[in-house]
């Protein structure tokens, strides 16, 4: 007597994409905070991206948002910016604390430097406009935005930075 294998048709069920995200409009600010990496994780991801960029020559952009205020006021303003950042970035980009509660960072991966307008200025203007629209001119004006391109562009002498990284120690370290 031969054993027969009986194949039944698959059950009908709803299939969800593996990497689906809930609708941004329905998220609470607490859910946005889950998408912002802690300082140590963000620093590790930044170092990893720098090594990748140095090795492959494929650029990425780091944007730093610094409220530079005392007594927790910086964190309060930046927490308002977190909601804007999380809803404005692509899924391939990473947001996290460059310095916990004081400097928020966004790593924009897979950027193209080709085109009529410089992508770094486009990103800066996009976020400045969003901050003014959602936080108001007074609060948005307290956020300093710096944009850094990696791999670094060196002057001919090989000793001077082209970007504005002098205020950020981790940016000044050469990654091995």
Dihedral angle sign, alpha carbons of residues 114, 145, 92, 134: negative
Q: Is the pLDDT of residue 8 over 80?
A: no
pLDDT-wise least confident of 37-41, 82-86, 172-176: 172-176
Q: Which residues pair with 107 in a beta bridge?
A: 62, 94
Beta-carbon contacts of residue 147 (< 8 Å; ≥ 6 apart): 61, 62, 63, 64, 120, 121, 123, 124, 163
Q: Is the pLDDT of residue 130 over 90?
A: yes
Domain residues of the chain, as ranges?
35-172
36: part of which helix (H) or strand (E)? strand 36-37
In angstroms, the first-to-last Cα distance of the chain is 67
- What pLDDT does residue 170 have? 52
Mean pLDDT of the chain: 76
What's the CATH architecture for 35-172? 2-Layer Sandwich (3.30)
- What pLDDT does residue 101 have? 85
Three-state secondary-structure class, residue 77: helix
Q: How confident is the model at residue 35 (pLDDT cuts 50, 70, 90)?
A: confident
Residue 84 CB neighbours (<10 A): 18
- What pLDDT does residue 171 have? 57
- What is the DSSP code string of 104-142? EEEEE-S----SSS-HHHHHHHHHHHHHHHHH-HHHHTT
Residues in the chain: 176
Residue with the bigger pLDDT between 31 and 20: it is: 31
pTM for this model (two decimals): 0.69
Q: Is the pLDDT of residue 151 over 60?
A: yes
| 37-50 residue pLDDT tens | 999 999 999 999 99
């Amino acid at each position: 007597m031969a054993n027969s294998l009986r194949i039944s048709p698959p059950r009908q069920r709803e299939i969800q994409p593996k990497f689906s995200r809930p609708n941004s409009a329905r998220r609470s600010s607490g859910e946005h905070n889950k998408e912002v990496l802690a300082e140590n994780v963000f620093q590790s991801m930044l170092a990893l991206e720098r090594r990748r960029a140095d090795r492959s020559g494929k650029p990425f952009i780091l944007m730093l948002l610094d409220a530079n205020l005392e007594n927790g006021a910086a964190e309060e303003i930046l927490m308002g910016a977190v909601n804007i950042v999380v809803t404005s970035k692509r899924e391939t980009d990473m947001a996290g604390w460059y310095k916990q509660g004081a400097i928020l960072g966004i790593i924009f991966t897979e950027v193209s430097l080709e085109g009529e307008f410089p992508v770094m200025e486009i990103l800066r203007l996009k976020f400045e406009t969003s901050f003014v629209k959602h936080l108001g001119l007074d609060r948005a004006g307290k956020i300093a935005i710096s944009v850094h391109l990696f791999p670094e562009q060196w002057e001919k002498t090989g000793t001077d930075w082209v970007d504005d990284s002098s205020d950020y120690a981790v940016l000044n370290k050469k990654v091995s």
